[in-house]
Amino acid sequence: MKSKLFLLVRVLMKSGAGGTRLGIKIGKKRFSSQLLIFIILAACFTPMAVTFGQGFAYMYDALSPIGQEGVILGLGTGAASLAIFFFGLFYVLSTFYLTSDVESLLPLPLKPYEIIGAKFIITVIYEYFTESIFLLPLTVAYGIKSGAGPLFYIYSLIVFLLIPVVPLAIGSIIVVVIMTFTSIGRNKDRLILIGGLVAMFFAIGLNISIQRLAQRSLDPQKLIQMLQQGGNSLIRLTSSIFPGIYFAAMGLANSTNINGLINILLFAGTAVIGVLLFLYVGEHLYFRGVVGISESRAKRKKVTDEELNKAVTANSAIKSYVIMKEIRLLVRTPIYFMNCVLVNFLWPVFLALPFLMQSGGNDMEQIFNMIRSANDTVIFAVAFGISVFAASANAIAASSISREGKNLYITKFLPMSYISQIVAKALSGVFFSTISAIVIAIVAAILLKLNLAVTIFIVIAGIAGTLFISFAGVMVDLLNPKLDWDSEQKAVKQNFNVVINTLIGLVFGGLSAALVIFADLALVPAFLLITGVFGLLSYGMYYLLSTKGVKLLENIIN
């Protein structure tokens, strides 16, 4: 009997089940606005890609004299695999388990591997978009610099197509196994959350241990020996980044001889093994985890008088809107919690991680001392920049309209002005971003032994920056909200508005930090300048929201 796998892929692609990655859907209806988005997208990413390309070319020039230019290939493909692996985890979790199409597929006479295989293929296809920003420049830069022949480009294409397979297969296996165990209980939301967290920590742990292992097997003498060997011997090092990457890099580096072909075949082999392993695990475990995924626990117990008294405390409309509606829904919806709330706490952890992991190493100690001796203005400016970027990356404001989805009409009949509702949405972003700014300030204060004034300055300026970014985020989301989604993942992760707002955060955070540093301002003027400027920007953005934003919200129909 013919497998329904590919039929399913076609159907799911058509219905947009995997979600158009960045909310780009080419249809007749909104073609012009989609075209505009494409142009913006290209305008945003072209400079980025060019910069990457130049970076790779520069690295090539530096490494080729010692015959180690192939390391670039290893690092590039390795970094791409790692990124796909981490970002893929949540993506896999939501497409495999949380999209509403799961409930309509389960009653059909389909084998588990057909459902999960189809979803896997779609996930792989969507990874091509993200991947290309990074790997295209790499291929072009390396190809031109090395004067590579057509075979190099053919191998590159094969590598490009296969790269997401192994990381996603490993990620999927982790997710499927964990969901099998967590679905034994009843409280869906909490279990998904726990599943997501466990998967993430497991992934981080796995990664650290692979790298540790690789580091241990490497003594300095051997390293020097390898360096002297030339002939891209260093590629072996990068193999520790991700399974299979060694073959990809070797294959590309040796495209002119038979070694290349062998390695490319080996790389394809790892991909095939990855897929088979994944399908095997999926066939046996997927249904156990996914059946009953929409169940949730109800107590059905009479609310006591006391509980009721507590529950009915009165608040002002706007406070209630921010706390009861926006923040509660953010915290209680697993996907929002992971992508919007948790990230605020992960940033500082990520920043601190290299400091913590390398404790004892003298190299690192030296770097710290260097950072510590940097003047307060620089530290303040950098911390401010990071806070602004973190505020834009948590996606709360930039998805605040999109998250309403089919419920957007509720904003229309409530007796609350549109501007108060817009402000309430922005405030929920400000709330979590402020927490993030505080945590960043505290982490910086501890690691870099900052004094109290700098710490407080970071927080206050951070709030001003956060206010602007949150207002800007809501504005961006109002311009082109993504309301038609069947899994919350699409509202926050596959939402182009979030990308735009992150770029705004990157530009405003980075630029203002750079300006302050290069202008060589003293701490207090720098603080006053940044806080003042972002205060004004916030006000300007508020004004824009209260005029244009209100009109936009009024005219959104769904």
Partner 1 sequence: MIELTNVSKTFGGTVKAVNNLTMTVNNGEIFGFLGPNGAGKTTTIKLITGILNADSGDIRINGLDIRKNTIEAKRQFGYVPDDPNIFLRLKGVEYINFLADVYNVPASERKARIEDLANRFGMTDALGDQIQTYSHGMRQKIVLMGALIHDPSVWILDEPMTGLDPKSSFILKEMMREHADSGKTVFFSTHVLDVAERICDRVAVINKGNVLFCGKIDEMKDLFKKDASLESMFLELTEDEK
Rounded to a whole number of angstroms, the CA Rg of the chain reads 25
**How many Å apart are CA 100 and CA 90, to the nearest integer?**
16
Which residue lies nearer to partner 1 by CB, 10 or 328? Answer: 328
Least distance (Å) between residue 158 CB and partner 1? 45
What's phi and psi for 359, nearest 5 deg?
-55, 135
Least distance (Å) between residue 496 CB and partner 1? 24
**Nearest residue to 166 via CA among 248, 234, 99:** 248
**How many Å apart are CA 202 and CA 196, to the nearest integer?**
10
Count CA atoms closer than 13 A to 210's CA, side-chain side: 14
Instruction: Give how far the C-alpha of residue 13 lies from the chain's centroid of Cα atoms, to the nearest Å.
Output: 22
Least distance (Å) between residue 304 CB and partner 1? 9
The distance between the two most distant Cα atoms of the chain, rounded to a whole number of Å, is 80
Which residue lies nearer to partner 1 by CB, 454 or 553? Answer: 553
- The DSSP secondary-structure symbol of 94 reads I
Least distance (Å) between residue 557 CB and partner 1? 7
Least distance (Å) between residue 320 CB and partner 1? 3
Least distance (Å) between residue 190 CB and partner 1? 11
Sign of the four-CA dihedral 429, 435, 440, 441: positive
Which residue lies nearer to partner 1 by CB, 258 or 557? Answer: 557
Which residue lies nearer to partner 1 by CB, 255 or 421? Answer: 421
Least distance (Å) between residue 508 CB and partner 1? 33
Least distance (Å) between residue 53 CB and partner 1? 44
**How many Å apart are CA 92 and CA 169, to the nearest integer?**
10
Which residue lies nearer to partner 1 by CB, 39 or 303? Answer: 303
Least distance (Å) between residue 330 CB and partner 1? 10
Neighbours of 65 (CB within 10 A): 9
Which residue lies nearer to partner 1 by CB, 212 or 412? Answer: 412
Which residue lies nearer to partner 1 by CB, 11 or 323? Answer: 323
SS3 assignment for 308-337: HHHHCCCCCHHHHHHHHHHHHHHHHCHHHH
Least distance (Å) between residue 290 CB and partner 1? 17
Token code pair at residue 397: 């404001």
CA distances, 153 to each of 80, 245, 250 (Å): 18, 17, 14
Which residue lies nearer to partner 1 by CB, 119 or 188? Answer: 188
Token code pair at residue 15: 């219905």
Which residue lies nearer to partner 1 by CB, 489 or 538? Answer: 489
Please report the DSSP string for 13-31 in residue order. HHTTTT--TTS----STTH
Least distance (Å) between residue 294 CB and partner 1? 9
Which residue lies nearer to partner 1 by CB, 258 or 298? Answer: 298
**How many Å apart are CA 473 and CA 475, to the nearest integer?**
5
User: Tokens 């003293």 map to which residue?
Assistant: 522
At a CB cut-off of 8 Å and minimum separation 6, what does 411 contact?
Answer: 404, 418, 421, 553
Which residue lies nearer to partner 1 by CB, 465 or 481? Answer: 481
Least distance (Å) between residue 328 CB and partner 1? 6
Interface residues with partner 1 (CB under 8 A) are: 189, 296-303, 307-309, 311-317, 319-321, 324-325, 328-329, 332-333, 406-407, 409-410, 412-417, 554-555, 557
Whether 182 and 68 have beta carbons less than 8 Å apart is answered as: no
Which residue lies nearer to partner 1 by CB, 208 or 291? Answer: 291
User: Tokens 């990074």 map to which residue?
Assistant: 134
**How many residues comprise the chain?**
558
Which residue lies nearer to partner 1 by CB, 442 or 556? Answer: 556
**How many Å apart are CA 279 and CA 169, to the nearest integer?**
9
Least distance (Å) between residue 114 CB and partner 1? 29
Question: Which uninterrupted H or E stretch holds 149?
Answer: none
Question: Which uninterrupted H or E stretch holds 70?
Answer: helix 70-93
- The CA angle 466-471-473, to the nearest 5 degrees, is 90
